[in-house]
Amino acid sequence: MELGDLFDLSLVGRADATALEYDGPTGSPHSVTFGELSARADRMAAALTARGMSRGDRLAIHLGNGIEFIDIFLACVRLGVIVVPVNTLYRERELDHIVKDAAPRLIATSAEHRPLFGDAPAVEVNVLSAEADAHPGALRERRGLDGDDPAVIIYTSGTTGRSKGAVLTHNNLATN
């Protein structure tokens, strides 16, 4: 069973139930069903594929809490793309180390933080979301992932030196 199959127990199995409630772009309350969340992830997966992302590639996510983070994370799980979450409090020195060490093919970040990445392959999340919205009805393909495939690389705090990437597999996340 793929990690995506576990997510699908809710995303597909409870498609009409409310998955998230949050403040929308104008500050007004907004909600998303599990089915809508699944469709958003499918569209994001299509957008990432159009950008050349594929199984085994690394995508750094430098975003605060928000639905866009969830869209990208679920899309990566479906594609077999390895997620590298990056703390938004990190600045140039920490970001430079993680980008060099993880070697992401793409970095998703906010317009505000895009300048922190210099020449690195960063894209503003609003651009990525607009690209995803241009893929209505995108269908998810099975990637034949193995439970031992890497899913996430989480960087340690680096209290005794430079931070190190800890690789978590699909099985690690499924067990958790």
Q: What per-residue confidence (pLDDT) applies to 27?
A: 81
Non-local (6+) Cβ contacts of 27 within 8 A are none
- pTM value is 0.92
Q: What per-residue confidence (pLDDT) applies to 172?
A: 93
> What are the tens digits of pLDDT across the range 123-161?
999 999 999 999 876 666 666 788 899 999 999 877 788
Residues 109, 122: contact at Cβ < 8 Å?
Answer: yes
Cα-to-chain-centroid distance, residue 80: 11
pLDDT in tens, the chain (176 residues): 677 878 888 888 899 999 999 887 788 888 999 999 999 999 999 999 999 999 999 999 999 999 999 999 999 999 999 999 999 998 888 999 999 999 999 999 999 999 999 999 999 999 999 999 998 766 666 667 888 999 999 998 777 888 899 999 999 998 88
Bridge-based pairing of strands 58-62 and 106-109 is parallel
Non-local (6+) Cβ contacts of 7 within 8 A are 74, 77
Long-range contact pairs involving 166-172 (C-beta distance under 8 Å, separation at least 24): 170/2, 170/3, 170/77, 170/145, 170/146, 171/147
